Amino acid sequence: MSKIWETDNPPSVKWPLYTRGNVGEVFPEVVLPFTWSLIGQAAEDGWREAFIRMGLVAEGDFDESEPMTILSVFGGYCYINASYVRMLGVRAPGGDVATIDETFFGGSDAPAYVEREGDKNRRASLKLAATVLRLLNTKDLPALRADKVKAERFASKYPGHAADGTPATDEQLLDYCMSFQPFFQSLFARHIENTFSDALVSGALIDVIAKAGKEDLLVSILGGIGDVESAAPAASMWELSRLDRDEPTWERAFASFITKFGSRGPNEWDIGSDPWAFRPAMAEAAIDAMRPVAADRSPADQQTALGEARDAAVAEVRQALNRIDRFQFNKALAATIVFSQARERSKTTVIAAIHAVRRAQRELHERAIGRGGAEERWKSCLLNVAEFREYLGDPSAKRDLIEERAVLHGRLSALVAPFIVEATVPPIDSWEVAGATVGVVAAGDVLDGLPGCPGVARGRARVVLDPADPRGLGPGDVLVAPITDPSWTPLFLAAEAVIVDVGAVMSHAVIVSRELGIPCAVSVTGATTSIPDGALVEVDGNTGSVRVLELS
């Protein structure tokens, strides 16, 4: 396979099936070469490290000639290897591929799993069984607190100035960036372990709920668990939206928000993206979108309502179980809460550490501007780390390469990467154009998706493709989005409900909507291209269905 983009690698021969599901929230845009050359291999190695610790990996799983297998980049877009992640459903006791597909990738059109020699592995299954038993007994994860301290220590070592006030050299700043690789691998391994631990224990929870014949209560049981860090910025923004900008406390409160959450924002895993700390106007726009929302929609009130519904659902399931199954239910529920919170907490720690690297790269970029470098920071991230090192010596010598890649970046960004790739990456001239209207719905049509957060809501569809441009989203509107990352979270509070093109049980939209109490349907394929802006729709977050009531 010839490379389309600087970061691309060929698909695996042994594990040929890939998906944008789940990873599309982490890297929603074309991956910038500086970022991927710095952390791409570390992410792969950290993911393998986590799988080895959990017991999933069997001898011979990975070929030395394929250093990037679990994670890959095709046409500039990041993919997860679905072939290999499915092994969790094959090798975990009581697991099944269908559950893994739905948990991580939603309602995709991936080809059915076909068993191959070597997929099943008794040794791996025994290790995974021991892992599940350990996870079900987990009540606390002190390693997460230790990682947070390490990330704070890493950020404190930012080489801004020497003791005598002399600015750090270019080499010192770049060396600081490079020192992030092993630390990122460690943090990312923890994040992946938390993510898949959540999948295993929630799978055990789902099994017990099914025994009770109460599958319809699952969404309520997983809602409003509290202490989910991905929802924290939205809750703080809500409080800020209650303040008038002319109030004396506004400026101080907003500055405090940026200090605490400034590392968050759109495409926040990519070093070349600007978070709220660099572009506070993005956060201010999101806060302004919340201002017209009624006070009774506050996150605190929603948490209370969700907590009451969850308590009632839990009691109903417990009542339907015998004593032994009730014991298993209690353990699985407690563990699911622990690892759901842990997954988002470990992600927050990674993002905080990435932001420290981003600050160093920005300093280097600003220095290069005066020597003929690119004006826009993201463009300097179009160079890989080795090229960036050369660029610092003579910025003007790389201008042509940067502009050439910027043109290609624009072309790729205007396309929708295939959700599924199997063995061969389709040529980019066959990819869909972003925002193109496909098969417009009619009044009475029902679009099927997956349930995110319980509740039924009606409103006018507001199709938003960029969280920085909410297009007047407000009370009475239903947010229709292609995919969501944390920069979208504040918009949830301004909407009656949320519809997302893609997503799954563990997707960001589901996790956040469950904490904020916003009815949500994910994996509603083609929603942004088939639902006209202004159409009246009804979202059933209990079933994941979207009914078109009338067109605008």
- Helix, strand or coil for residue 259? helix
**Predicted pLDDT of residue 1:** 58
Residue 255 confidence (pLDDT): 96
Q: What phi and psi values does residue 221 have, to the nearest 5 degrees?
A: -65, -30
DSSP secondary structure, 50-119, as one string:
HHHHHT---TTSS-TT-S-SSEEEETTEEEEEHHHHTHHHHHSTT--HHHHHHHHH-S--PPPP---TTS
DSSP state of 30: P
In 3D space, the residue among 21, 108, 27 whose CA is nearest the CA of residue 506 turns out to be 21
Q: Strand, coil or helix: what is 191?
A: helix
Cα–Cα separations (whole angstroms), residue 312 to 221, 304, 353: 9, 12, 40
* Planar angle of CA 326, 332, 334, nearest 5 degrees: 105
The pLDDT of residue 395 is 96
What is the pLDDT at residue 330?
96
Whether 518 contacts 263, CB under 8 Å? no
Calpha distance 333→551 (Å, rounded) = 42
Kind of pairing, strands 456-463 and 477-481?
parallel
Picking from 424, 410, 372, the residue whose alpha carbon sits closest to that of residue 393 is 372
Q: Which residues of 215-240 are buried (b: 16+ CB within 10 A; e: fewer)?
A: eebbbbbbbbbeebbbbbbbbbbbeb
pLDDT at 349: 96
Looking at residue 110, its amino acid is A
pTM (2 d.p.) = 0.92
Quick one: CATH architecture of 224-264+278-319+435-552?
Answer: 3-Layer(bba) Sandwich (3.50)
Phi, psi at residue 521, to the nearest 5°? -130, 125
- Cα-flanking dihedrals φ and ψ of residue 31, to 5°? -70, 130
Q: Which of 56, 53, 59, 71 shows the shortest CA–CA distance to 12? A: 71
- Cα-Cα-Cα-Cα torsion 267, 270, 274, 280, nearest 10 degrees, comes to 60
Three-state helix/strand/coil letters over 114-157: CCCCCCCCHHHHHHHHHHHHHHHCCCCCHHHHHHHHHHHHHHHC
For residue 314, what pLDDT is reported? 96
Identify the bridge partners of residue 34 per DSSP, sorted by sequence position: none
Q: Helices in 273-298 by DSSP H: which ranges?
A: 280-290
In contact, 441 and 531? CB cutoff 8 Å: yes
Q: Which amino acid is at 125?
A: S
φ and ψ at 372, to 5 degrees?
95, 15
pLDDT for the residue numbered 162: 62
pLDDT in tens for each of the 552 residues of the chain? Answer: 578 999 999 999 999 999 988 888 889 899 999 999 999 999 999 999 999 999 999 999 999 999 999 999 999 999 999 999 999 999 998 888 988 887 777 666 778 899 999 999 999 999 999 999 999 999 999 999 999 999 999 999 998 766 667 889 999 999 999 999 999 999 999 999 999 999 899 889 999 999 999 988 888 898 888 888 888 898 899 999 999 988 889 999 999 999 999 999 889 999 999 999 999 998 998 898 889 888 888 888 888 888 898 999 999 999 999 999 999 999 999 999 999 999 999 999 999 999 999 999 999 999 999 999 999 999 999 999 999 999 999 999 999 999 999 999 999 999 989 989 999 999 999 998 887 766 688 999 999 988 888 889 999 999 998 887 877 888 889 999 988 877 787 888 889 999 998 777 777 778 888 888 889 998 888 899 899 999 999 999 988 999 999 997
Alpha carbon of residue 312 to chain centroid: 30
Alpha-carbon distance of 459 to 537, in angstroms, equals 6
User: How do the domains of the chain map onto residue ranges?
Assistant: 17-212+322-408, 224-264+278-319+435-552
